[in-house]
Amino acid sequence: MPILDKGDSPKEELAPGVGRWRLLDSETGAEALTVADLTLAAESSVQTHIHPTEEAMVILEGELEAVLGDDVITVTAGQTVHAPAGVKHGFSNRSGKSARLLAIFPTARMERTPVD
């Protein structure tokens, strides 16, 4: 059973103020799962996008505005956003404090298509 350490995953800048660590995916040996840890600085955002698979986003810290389809919803730590396959989604951090979430996909080869 492999144990993976976040410190071994390089931080990627997904967008200005948005850091992403790929914790588990095809590069780390997964066959059917991707898990990423994202931090969003105050006033940062993740552009709306779609995936060919569903995604679960677990809010670990802070408060975010989540776009899900045509809705904009405020989400906070302890909540999970479920984006079905093909449904646009994204986040904005207007709280003045940093936020953090886990993104989970049922595929080891996550695909992302920007929209809007």
CATH number, domain containing residue 79: 2.60.120.10
The string of DSSP codes covering 66-78 is: EEETTEEEEEETT
Q: Give the per-residue pLDDT at 43.
A: 98
Query: Which pLDDT value is given to residue 2?
Result: 83
In a domain, 100, yes or no: yes
* CB crowding 65-98: b at 16 or more within 10 Å, else e: ebbbeeeeeebeeeeebebeeeebbbbbbebeee
Rounded Cα distance between 116 and 87, Å, is 12
Measure Cα distances from 98 to 12, 33, 54 in Å. Answer: 17, 26, 25
In a domain? residue 59: yes
72 assigned to some structural domain: yes
Q: Which domain holds residue 29?
A: 12-108
Domains in the chain, number: 1
Tens-binned pLDDT, residue by residue, of the chain (116 aa): 589 999 999 999 999 999 999 999 999 999 999 999 999 999 999 999 999 999 999 999 999 999 999 999 999 999 999 999 999 999 999 999 999 999 999 999 999 999 97
Which tokens sit at 49?
């996008």
pTM of the model: 0.94
Query: Is beta strand 113-114 parallel, antiparallel or unpaired with respect to 80-83?
Result: unpaired
Whether 74 maps to a domain, the answer reads yes
Q: Specify if 116 maps to a domain.
A: no
Q: Sign of the CA dihedral 116, 97, 13, 100?
A: negative
Confidence (pLDDT) at 64? 98
Residues 6+ apart with CB under 8 A from 7: none
Q: Is residue 83 part of a domain?
A: yes
Residue 38: inside a domain, yes or no? yes
Is residue 3 in a domain? no
113's tokens: 């298509």
* DSSP β-bridge partners for residue 40: 18, 99
